[in-house]
Structure 1
């Protein structure tokens, strides 16, 4: 004995509406993992940079060196709270300033220097070591903080 199901148009509409509601509910519940969101301005993001050195010897036997921030460029979002951790690997002392953010400090070999800031204006800010400002002094030792 077989049964015959009779489906009315009204029942199809009700089933489709129920499926649509389930799909919308699932998307809403999963929105944090599925949809891109703006930067969370309530938490602080840590960015780590180190002081590195390139060293070589010329044909004449002269030692040449250049100091760098590594990574050389970091990108952050406008309004994002930042904890910038700078660690000294090479060189004894690196007094620095971040142009446009009114931040200065010093990184020493084997030590971590931490600065906190929120960049509220888009642009590119230079992280400059005052000891290694040009080629004659093992530089330029300049990093870039790009605020989008």
Structure 2
């Protein structure tokens, strides 16, 4: 014998309505919001970059000594919004007073010591790390590094 269930219109609407409310509650409880994705996308990464001061030195055939000072690595790439710390170890050269063009960052690296500076990479672009002692060829430079801030 087969049983036939007959639902009244009122019972059908009530059950359907309850099912829709339950489904909506589950979807909204589990589904991440657009704001949540935006917050994840804007999360700041803390970057610690280790650098050294370096020197290239040679003698030409006529006995002239040629020197050039460099930052190593010479180019650093970070993302917009990153909090960046540069730990710069003074290997060659007695003193390297420097600044980062376009930022309020400056310091001095001395031989045998580590100098630490931090900044927030708030805007995309290419920023030059410039040693004031070795600003041009006449002073064994230019000793310029590049900080590339890419869009996130």
TM-score by length of 2: 0.70
In the TM superposition, residue 47 of structure 1 has moved relative to its aligned partner by: 0.5
**What's the counterpart of residue 141 of structure 1?**
143
Unaligned runs of 5+ in 1: 1-36
Whole-angstrom CA distance in 2 between matches of 1:105 and 1:133: 15
Whole-angstrom CA distance in 2 between matches of 1:64 and 1:100: 31
Secondary structure at 2:138 match in 1: helix
Secondary structure at 1:136 match in 2: helix
Secondary structure at 1:110 match in 2: coil
Unaligned runs of 5+ in 2: 1-39
**What's the counterpart of residue 92 of structure 1?**
94
Secondary structure at 2:81 match in 1: coil
Which of structure 1's runs of 4+ aligned residues deviate more than 4 A?
A: 37-40
RMSD: 1.3
Matches within 5 A, 1:95-106: 95-106=97-108
Secondary structure at 1:75 match in 2: strand
Secondary structure at 2:66 match in 1: strand
**What's the counterpart of residue 77 of structure 2?**
75
TM-score by length of 1: 0.72
Secondary structure at 2:133 match in 1: coil
**Matched residue pairs, number?**
111
Do the aligned residues in 2 keep the contact of 1:95 with 1:130 (CA within 8 Å)? yes
Whole-angstrom CA distance in 1 between matches of 2:66 and 2:94: 17
The higher radius of gyration belongs to 2
**What's the counterpart of residue 59 of structure 1?**
61
Whole-angstrom CA distance in 2 between matches of 1:46 and 1:70: 14
